[in-house]
Amino acid sequence: MATLLWLEGGSCSGNTMSFLNAEEPTAVDLVTDFGIEVIWHPSLGMELGDGVQEIMRDCASGARPVDIFVYEGSVLMGPNGSGRYDMFANRPMKDWVSEISARAGVTVAVGDCSCWGGIPAVDPNPSDAIGLQYLKGNHGGFLGKDYRSTLGLPVVNIPGCPAHPDWITQIVVALAAGRAGDITLDEFQRPSTFFTTFTQTGCTRVQFYEYKQSTMSFGEGTRTGCLFYEFGCRGPMTHSPCNRILWNRQSSKTRAGHPCTGCTEPGYPHGDLEKGTVFKTQKVAGVIPKDEPAGMDAGSYMALAGLSRAVAPQWSKEDMFVV
């Protein structure tokens, strides 16, 4: 029976909320069907106070082996490197993370804050927040770039703000089943099975994207036009399966008329939330998107965009989902 310990640092608990909504498999399935022993979880653990301290001491010393160590939230280093902005079980959380990750079979970062710092690490980063093995796109993070768990793995990053619940539970099941070696990771240590395709893969607006037909005002309808040209959709350059593994098994941001904000990439939040950078396509010279679709340079993009717009058929300008 694999053991799992889940701790939470600097975060909003969004990944816990997401995890508890998992469907394939559910959080309960992890225990009843896959035999995982949840040592403790901040929302599910029954122990409080002294009881939690005892669990933490046992996990840190190795008296209680942790096969899967899940960490949600950024590691708060402030003030002045003391970690005292985030005290847990009588110590800075960062000290528990350091000791438990050194003994864990595998360490899993769930959500952007844990993967790369996320929202808490936005400039000026008052709590000195940092991800487990990255800060933004810079390799290193709290554990250092050479960190390996006792199974020989770097931190397995499951990003997202929050991560989709089934990305979390499916990776946990694979790890609990002893299939850590089958999980291939991409350049940012994300499981390739989820983070090779783009948010755009499966988006119902792709035909509008192809012919460069934009939604013209935010919230205008929910189905017509592409959100890339004016509203900052990062679907063409964000690795996620959000339009393949739907949220609540029925929708996604772009299907609901909301731009993808690129939350599975290490630059998130892109533009550090500065005024005018959210829900607005950043452009050079007023016309060229600052961030091109993955794999395209500005010249190729402009040539393709000009041609596509010129030949756009009438149907590409209309709502295709009339019932």
Residues near ligand SF4 (CB under 6 A) are 160, 199-200, 203, 205-206, 209, 226-228, 233, 235-236, 238, 240, 242, 252-254, 260-264
Rounded to whole angstroms, the Cα distance separating 273 from 277 reads 6
Rg of the chain in Å (alpha carbons): 21
> Taking the complex as a whole, how short is the minimal distance between the CB of residue 75 and ligand SF4, in angstroms?
22
Helix axes 93-103, 49-61, angle to 10 degrees: 40
> Taking the complex as a whole, how short is the minimal distance between the CB of residue 320 and ligand SF4, in angstroms?
13
Work out whether the CA dihedral 257, 244, 134, 5 comes out positive or negative: positive
The identity of residue 157, as a single letter, is N
> Taking the complex as a whole, how short is the minimal distance between the CB of residue 40 and ligand SF4, in angstroms?
28
> Taking the complex as a whole, how short is the minimal distance between the CB of residue 303 and ligand SF4, in angstroms?
18
Which of residues 9 and 202 has its CB atom nearest to ligand SF4 in the complex?
Answer: 202
Q: How far is CA 123 from the centre of its chain?
A: 19
Which of residues 142 and 194 has its CB atom nearest to ligand SF4 in the complex?
Answer: 194
Which of residues 137 and 152 has its CB atom nearest to ligand SF4 in the complex?
Answer: 137
> Taking the complex as a whole, how short is the minimal distance between the CB of residue 19 and ligand SF4, in angstroms?
15
Rounded to whole angstroms, the Cα distance separating 84 from 131 reads 17
> Taking the complex as a whole, how short is the minimal distance between the CB of residue 213 and ligand SF4, in angstroms?
10
Among all residues, whose Cβ is closest to ligand SF4?
235
Q: Tell me whether residue 319 is exposed, middle or buried, using C-beta atoms within 10 angstroms of its C-beta: 0 to 12, 13 to 18, 19 or more.
A: exposed
**Strand pairing category for 156-158 and 134-135:** unpaired
> Taking the complex as a whole, how short is the minimal distance between the CB of residue 234 and ligand SF4, in angstroms?
7
